[in-house]
Amino acid sequence: MDCLFELSNDEQFMQNLNGKLSAASEYLQERNDVALHLLLSSPTRSFLLALCRRISHLDGVSARTLEFYRQQAAEAERSGVARLSSGQLQQAYQRMQQVTSSSLVPVAEFEKMLNTLNHDINQVYAVYLPALLRQASHPPQGKQIDMRIKSSQAQMEAVMLLSRHVPPAFMSLVKKLFVDDLGPIRAQLDPAALFFADFTALGVQDDKASLAARAARNGGGPYYDSFKRVELQRGTRGAKPWRRCVRCPTLMEDVSPNRPGVTYVLAPQRKCSCGGSWGLLTKDKMVL
């Protein structure tokens, strides 16, 4: 979002949108900026939409759970009958709701923007791709049309992600995105807080200064718990062993819950978020 806001304030980029989209694409390539491409490409856009739905679901679950605890406490006070203590689990849900409800970018508004963009892109594909196929020397017929439309869309998506070339047919919707669609979400957040936020835990900064700082720290950078999203200290591995995904380099502290409520909360971490299984690291080793 910060990159999109920066582009909307960039006079040269906005002027390029009034001409040919190829000029805007070349300008983005010079800046090494792929934020727009990630939104225009269906796989990455769908992934962002799925994340928004998961965050909204977690926010709803935590809100309903906390409301249940409040009602339970009120009922216990009226009846004088003590309820089972669940302080730690209640605190966990409170922390979860605090995280999901205090995002720098309002999740509901961001999801709304993505759905609007998704609708606009589908409309462009529905008009542009059939017209493009009809111009071929041997246009497809019958059932082949739908198959060719799907394959053509997949090729355009791949080109967009790999070569950063945005199709000329997207000119109107890109303009609409920066002129109309970004306004409502910008009004509901603090652009300065978003710009100065620390995203080190994501490990996505690839500028020279960030890479040099990462290499100089602990021989390659800090490790983060993929579940708690907190930094793991190498010197404290004696307390809890670490898990490492057998498919990707994700790490997390080993957890052995013995309470039903905690087991339910930790159920999503039975496997890594990429779908790989966890392997338990032995002491002082970082390779399975």
pLDDT, one tens digit per residue, over 185-232 is: 999 988 888 888 877 777 666 667 776 776 666 555 677 888 777 888
- Side chain identity at 75, as an amino acid letter? E
Q: Is 186 helix (H, G, I), strand (E, B) or coil?
A: helix
For 51-197, list the strands marked E by DSSP. none
The 10s digit of each residue's pLDDT in 25-63 is 899 988 888 899 999 999 999 999 999 999 999 999 999
Euclidean distance between CA atoms 46 and 57, whole angstroms: 16
The 10s digit of each residue's pLDDT in 149-183 is 888 888 888 888 888 788 888 999 999 999 999 98
> Which helix (DSSP H) or strand (DSSP E) does residue 183 occupy?
helix 182-187
Tell me the C-alpha to C-alpha distance, in Å, between residue 28 and each of 37, 142, 239, 276: 10, 39, 47, 34
Euclidean distance between CA atoms 7 and 116, whole angstroms: 19
The whole-number pLDDT of residue 271 equals 83
- Check: pTM over 0.95? Answer yes or no: no
Q: Are 7 and 33 in contact (CB under 8 A)?
A: yes
Q: Are 58 and 96 in contact (CB under 8 A)?
A: yes
Please report where in the chains the tokens 């605190």 appear, as a residue. Answer: 91
Tell me the C-alpha to C-alpha distance, in Å, between residue 244 and each of 55, 223, 254, 268, 276: 24, 11, 9, 15, 10
Euclidean distance between CA atoms 280 and 246, whole angstroms: 10
Burial of 275 by CB count in 10 Å (0-12 exposed, 13-18 middle, 19+ buried)?
exposed
Euclidean distance between CA atoms 34 and 93, whole angstroms: 35
Listed by start position, the domains of the chain span 1-197, 208-280
Euclidean distance between CA atoms 147 and 125, whole angstroms: 14
Q: Which of the two residues, 137 and 59, has the higher pLDDT score? A: 59
- Side chain identity at 270, as an amino acid letter? R
The 10s digit of each residue's pLDDT in 67-118 is 988 888 888 888 877 666 677 788 888 988 998 888 889 999 999 999 999 9
